A and B are shown apart, each in its own frame.
Chain A
Amino acid sequence: MGIVKELKKGALISLWFVFLTFPVMVIKVDPIARTVVWRWENALYMAVGTFVVYYIAQFFLKKKENQKEASEEKGLNHSIIHKILQNPLQRNIFVGVLAVAAVLFPQVLSAYQTNVMTTALMYVVLGLGLNIVVGLAGLLDLGFVAFYAVGAYTYALLNHHFGLGFFTVLPIGGLMAATFGILLGFPVLRLRGDYLAIVTLGFGEIIRLVLENWGEFSQGPSGISDISRPGFFGVDFDLQSSIIYTYYLMIILVIVTIFVVNRLQDSRLGRAWIALREDEVACQAMGIDKRKTKLVAFSLGAFWAGIMGVMFAAKTTFVNPASFTFLESAIILSIVVLGGMGSIVGVVLGALILILMPEYLRALSQYRMLAFGAILVCMMIFRPQGLISNIRRTYTFKKKTTNSLSK
C-alpha cells in the first residue's frame, strides 16, 4: 500500500516536471531559419530523471531527520578527518603525506596539471578568506569578487605603469582590498543580513562596471596584458619553471592562510565573530563592538581576496573585467557552503572538489555552473553544516595551577 502510494506520487511529480520543462527542453526553434526541432527524447529523460531524483531526495530527507535525532543525543559529532586531526600521531602522518604529495606534484605531473592545481589552491585561499566573513562572522558577502578585482588591478596597473614587482605589490594589493573593504563596510555593515548580501552584490557589480567603462584608467573590456609573472631575486624563468614556481608560491600562501585563519578562529576575535553570527543583540550586551568586529572580519576577508587578486594577475599575466563577475563570487560562496561554513578543513576540501572535478571530468565541465547552483540549494536543504562541519573547540582545563590548551 505504502509503496504503491509512493510510486504514484513519484510518477505524478515526474509528470509535473515533464510539463514544467516541456517548452524549454523539448522545443528548440531557430527563428532565423524558421525551423522547429521537437526533442521528444528529452521529455523521456526528464520523466525518468525526476522519478529517480525524487526517491534519492526522499532518502536523504529521511536520513537527515534520523540524523537530527541522533545528533541531539550526542551533541558533538566528529567526522573522520577531525578524528585523524585530533590524534597527534595520525595527524602527523596525515600532514606528512600531504606535504610530500604537495612537493612531488609538479615533478610527477605535467605543467598543465600543475597549473590547474595552482588555480584550485587559489580558490582554497579565496574560500578561506570568504570563510572568515561568511562562515565565522555570518556576513553574507556576495561581492567578494570585487576585492579580488581590486587586488588584481592593483598589481596590473602598478606593474604596467611603474614596473613594480610581484612581491612588492602582494601586500599592497591585499591592503588596497582591505581598505576597500573598510570603506564599503563602514556604511553597510549595520544592515541586516539579507540587505547586506544585496549591497555587497551591488558593490561588486559597480566595481566591475567601472572597470569596464572607465577606459583611461583600466583599459576597459580589453583589459591589461603582459603583466609580469612572480620573480625570484631577478632570476628569469622560462614558462615551464615559472608555472612550477607559482605552484610552490601558492602552496606557501595556502599554508600561511590556514595557519593565520586557524589562529584567528581560536582567538578572542574569532569567538566574538561566532558570537556575532549567533546573536547580535546579545553580543552587544556582552560589550562587543558590533561594528568594529564586523569591520575587521570584512576587511580581513577582503585582504585575502586582494592577495589572491595579485596572484591571479601574476599567474595569468592578463586581467580584464570579465574575470570578476558575480558568478565568480557565487563559485567562492559555493566552496564555503559545500565545505562547511566556518570549517577550515571543509573549505579546503570544498575548493579542491569544486575546482578540480570539472577539470578532470571534462564531459561534465559544461554542467559546472548548473552543478554549483544545485549544490547551493541541496546543501542548504540536506546538509546546511556542509561536508565537514566545524567542531567547536573544547578547552581541557586543569585546576588553577597549569592550564593546558588543546584542540
Chain B
Amino acid sequence: MDYFIELLFSGLTRGSIYALIALGYTMVYGIIGLINFAHGEIYMIGAFTAFIVATVLSIYGFPLVAIVIIAGVAAVVWSSSYGYTIEKIAYKPLRYAPRLSPLISAIGMSIFLQNYILLAQTSDFLPFPRLIPDFPFMEPIAHIVGSTDLVILVTTFVVMVVLTFIIKFTLIGKAMRATSQDRAMATLVGINVNRVISATFIIGSGLAAIGGLLIASHIGQINFYIGFLAGIKAFTAAVLGGIGSIPGAVLGSLILGLTESFATGYVSSDYEDVFAFSLLVLILIFKPSGLLGKAKNEKV
C-alpha cells in the first residue's frame, strides 16, 4: 500500500510539473495555433538560469531563503524574456505564412537554443543545488512523500489558481480569450493582438521556468537536453487534455504523470519514455481533440 501511495504522489508530482510546461503549449496553441516546439527549451533555460544564479549566490554565502527567491525570480524573468524574444524573431514574421512554416521555424529555434546552451555552458550534467530543505513536520511520511514533492504540489496549485484568476478576471486574460476565439474579430473590437500574443508567450514561459526550477531541484541535475523530452511529454499532456484548453492541460498532465509513475513502478522502468510516446501517438490517432478539447472542422 505504501508503494502505491508513493507511486501516486510521485505521479502527481510529475504531473504537476508537466502541467506547468503544458500550459505554455496550450496557451500558445490556443492563440496562434502553433505548436511552440521551442517551449521545452524555454523551460530548460529557466532551469539553467536558476542553477547559475543559485550557485553563484550560494558561493557568495547568501541564506537559503534569499537564494530560492532570487533564483526563482531570475528564472521567471529570463525565461519570459526568451519567450518574448523568440516569438518576435521566429514566429511573428511568419504569422501569415503557410501553416508548416512557423512549425519548422520553431523546430529550428529549439535546436538552436539547445546548442546555444551547450556551447555557452557545458554538455555535462550539472548537479543542481538543493533548494528545498527537508521539513521536520514531513518526517513521519518522508519515505512516501518527500518535502520537495510537497513544495511542487503546493506551488503548482497556487500557480494554477493565480493563472485561472488572470485568465478569468483581468483585462489581458479577457483579451486572450477573445483572441483565441477569433483573432480577426478581436482586432476589430480594438484588442492589440500583438500584445496579447506577447503576453501569452511571457506568461507561458514564466510558468515553464517555474516548472524548470522545481524539476531541477527535484531530480537534482540538469543538462542542455532536458527540454526536449520534457517538452514532448508536456505536449503529450496538452494534447491528451485537448490542446487549447487550460483545464485540459492540467488534467492531461496529471493523467500522464500518473500513467508514467504506475507504469514504471509496476511494469518496467526501461520503457518509461516509450509509455509517454505511445500515449501521444495513440491519442493523436484516436482522439486528436483530446479529453476536453473541441474538434475543429475545416469550413468548406
Contact = CB atoms under 8 A, between A and B. Distances in A.
Given A202-B278, A377-B89, 7 more contacts: A25-B120, A29-B59, A31-B129, A140-B100, A191-B284, A373-B112, A373-B113
Interface string A354-379: 00000000000011011011111110
A194 B274 contact: no
A326 B108 contact: no
B20 to A, nearest CB: 20
B155 interface: no
A209 B273 contact: yes
Interface residues of B, number: 65
10 contacts: A16-B85, A24-B117, A27-B52, A188-B285, A194-B34, A202-B278, A203-B277, A205-B273, A213-B274, A380-B105
A36 B55 CA distance: 9
Interface of A: 16-17, 19-21, 23-25, 27-29, 31-32, 34-36, 42, 61, 138, 140, 142, 187-188, 191-195, 197-199, 201-203, 205-206, 209-210, 213, 281, 326-327, 330, 333-334, 337, 366-367, 369-370, 372-378, 380-381, 384
Contact of A32 (B52, B78, B127): B127
Given A31-B127, A205-B273, A194 B99 contact: yes
B271 A209 contact: yes
B101 A380 contact: yes
A210 B285 contact: no
Contacts of A24: 45, 48-49, 52, 116-117, 120-121
A377 B45 contact: no
B232 A202 contact: yes
A370 B224 CA distance: 13
B97 interface: yes
B159 interface: no
Nearest to B85: A20
Contacts of A32: 127
Interface of B: 34-35, 45, 48-49, 51-53, 55-56, 59, 74, 78, 81-82, 85, 89-90, 93-94, 97-105, 107-121, 126-127, 129, 228, 232, 235-236, 239, 270-271, 273-274, 277-278, 280-281, 284-285, 288, 298, 300
A24 B99 CA distance: 32
Contact of B112 (A34, A333, A374): A374
Given A194-B99, A384-B97, A376 B107 contact: yes
Contact of A23 (B53, B94, B278): B53
A20 B82 CA distance: 7
B94 A380 contact: yes
Main secondary structure of the interface of A (DSSP, over half): helix
Contact of A373 (B55, B101, B111): B111
B108 A374 contact: yes
A381 B94 contact: yes
Given A24-B49, A367-B119, A188 B284 contact: yes
A35 B90 contact: no
A19 B84 CA distance: 13
Contacts of B90: 377, 380-381
Contacts of A384: 97-98, 101
Contacts of A206: 274, 277-278, 281
Nearest to A331: B111
A202 B119 contact: no
B111 A330 contact: yes
List the 8 closest pairs (A to B, CB-CB), nearest first: A376-B108, A373-B112, A373-B111, A377-B108, A370-B115, A380-B105, A29-B55, A213-B270
Nearest to B117: A24
A396 to B, nearest CB: 30
A28 B121 CA distance: 7
A146 to B, nearest CB: 11
A402 B90 CA distance: 51
